[in-house]
Structure 1
Amino acid sequence: MSNIPLEKSLLKEYLDEKVHLYNNPDFITSDPIQVPHQYALKEDIEIAGFLAATIAWGNRKSIITNANKLMELMGNSPYDFVMSHKGEDLERFDSFVHRTFNSIDISYFIKSLKNIYSNYIGLENVISMNVANGSTQKAISEFKKIFFELEHPSRTTKHVSDPLKGSAAKRINMFLRWMVRNDTAGVDFGIWKSIPTAHLSCPLDVHSGNVARKLGLLNRKQNDAKALNLLDTSLRELDPIDPVKYDFALFGLGVFEKL
């Protein structure tokens, strides 16, 4: 730890170097973001990204394998499958399971996504219409209400987090980074133009949280909504326009450099 710069300007320089190191196409090959990168159609990217992010906990290889399995079960045309599927088509997911996310959950997700694209224009519109006060966290909470407005199994609600109920909402914040942030390296997509990158929140998990604490960016022990707000404040001081670029630095330092 003695060689890690902690004075703010030096810390920014240090983290900017780590962003440059990890925010490049090589990152894609070991990350779930590779799943939506298989597609060119905006809606395919959105749906593939949303589903991959939803199951993004646990072993990364398992996440990627199972996200690709979902794409295969959808005929590798996720938007077309969502919009044209019939009830019996959902039977193909009967044996699907990723940790606690199973066929019951994916079946509802597909029904809800069809409702969103049919009646709310799409995922981008549902989320962007509730962005307020320089933050996407209320928008995520409102999105969850719309996502579960259809009759749904109660067990499935746990797979979409609500920041206004204390969750750091790591997976959906990661999904928003993928969709909104437009980097020059071709990792994040930048296909959602209606949400400013300045409003994004860092995907906070064990790795990024531990590194942030070691670097003095976060002083709360829990990885919850309050911790996320503190981390966001620290990162926005370093870069008010693109604060979540530092997710690459925090993640890389934690996972690849074992800081």
Structure 2
Amino acid sequence: MNFSELKAFLDQKAEEYNNPGFIIHDPVSIPHLFTRKQDIEIAGFWAAILAWGQRVTIINKCKELFDLMDNAPYEFIVGHQDSDLKRFLKFRHRTFNATDTLYFIEFFKWYYLRHDSLESAFLQGLSADETNVGQGLVNFHHLFFSLQDYPHRTRKHIATPERKSACKRINMFLRWMVRKDDRGVDFGLWNRINPAQLICPCDLHVDRVARKLGLIKRKQTDWQTAVELTGRLKEFDPKDPVKYDFALFGLGVEEKF
């Protein structure tokens, strides 16, 4: 396909998959269970971090987790007593265990007692003229593990460009929070990060389809690969490149492209 044909193809597929019907079978359905901004942020972040494995399992584990918070994550996190934490000791999803869960709760309590929105955590060191959110992700990682005696094992669950990770899960979370349209999937809650600064979440399906379409040349899949892919997508839409995540993911998962 030439440039015009490929743009038309991806535009059509993005339009096809960016709709409310996409929500029910995707981890984005978890933050859609809530209406309060802080609940959406907490549920969205956790759902994104736990998003590996089968989507049905991811959704069920997230529902299990928020059931333990009485389906009011923000109120639970800022108001719980130490005795309330015992209920999380058996929570596990793959390698994410109770130690990780309890630290997430500790960090969120510390953070939300000082800030109104999680958006501020990603703005440290991220200027309006930055090409992408990379520095914001680096600084968020440092902030997340700034509490005394954080469990070292939990670091593996929060990716950072400093480790050359493609940061798929956090980029997906940022897409949910930042992108604005009228399609009903992404929330567009945050206003201080420009959608043009977002990086396309680069999972196995997106990576495979993007390579098949000639959008990626790097052999490995890392942060620079995600940046390379997003740069190509900006050729099609410089203001909203990650809308094509819907097209690439849909082609990979639903159509086995």
TM-score range, shorter chain: over 0.9
Q: Which position in structure 1 is the counterpart of 2:229?
A: 231
Residue 104 of structure 1 pairs with residue 99 of structure 2: yes
Match of 1:204 in 2: 202
Which residues in structure 2 correspond to 1:83-162 (within 5 Å)?
83-132=78-127, 133-150=130-147, 151-162=149-160
Please give the alpha-carbon distance, in whole angstroms, between the structure 1 residues aligned to 2:60 and 2:166.
Answer: 25
Q: Give the counterpart letter for 2:43 in structure 1.
A: A
8 Å CA contact 1:116–1:147 kept in 2: the answer is: no
Query: C-alpha deviations, 1:75-121, integer Å up to 9, x for none?
Result: 10010011111222111111111000011101000100111112344
Is the partner of 1:212 in helix, strand or coil? helix
Contact 2:180 2:187 in 1 (8 A): yes
Alignment map for 1:182-193 (pairs within 5 Å): 182-193=180-191
User: Does structure 1 retain, via aligned residues, the 8 Å contact 2:176–2:188?
Assistant: yes
Please give the alpha-carbon distance, in whole angstroms, between the structure 1 residues aligned to 2:240 and 2:196.
5
Residues in 1 aligned to 2:118 and 2:109: alpha-carbon distance in whole angstroms: 10
How many residue pairs end up in the alignment? 254
CA distance in structure 2 between the partners assigned to 1:92 and 1:206 by the alignment? 34
The answer to whether structure 1 residue 66 and structure 2 residue 61 are counterparts is: yes
Identical aligned residues as a percent: 50
CA RMSD between the two structures: 1.0
For residues 87 and 55 of structure 1, the distance between their equivalents in structure 2, rounded to whole angstroms, comes to 24
Equivalent residue for 1:48?
Answer: 43
SS at match of 1:51: helix
Match of 2:215 among 214, 217, 229: 217
Greater shift in the superposed pair: 70-79 or 129-138: 129-138
Does the aligned pair in 1 maintain the 2:132–2:199 contact within 8 Å? yes
2:17 maps to 1:22: yes
Contact 1:55 1:63 in 2 (8 A): yes
Match of 1:241 in 2: 239
Runs (5+) with no aligned partner, structure 2: none
Detail structure 1 runs of 4+ shifted over 6 Å in the superposition: none
Distance, in Å, in 2 between the alignment partners of 1:82 and 1:168 is 29
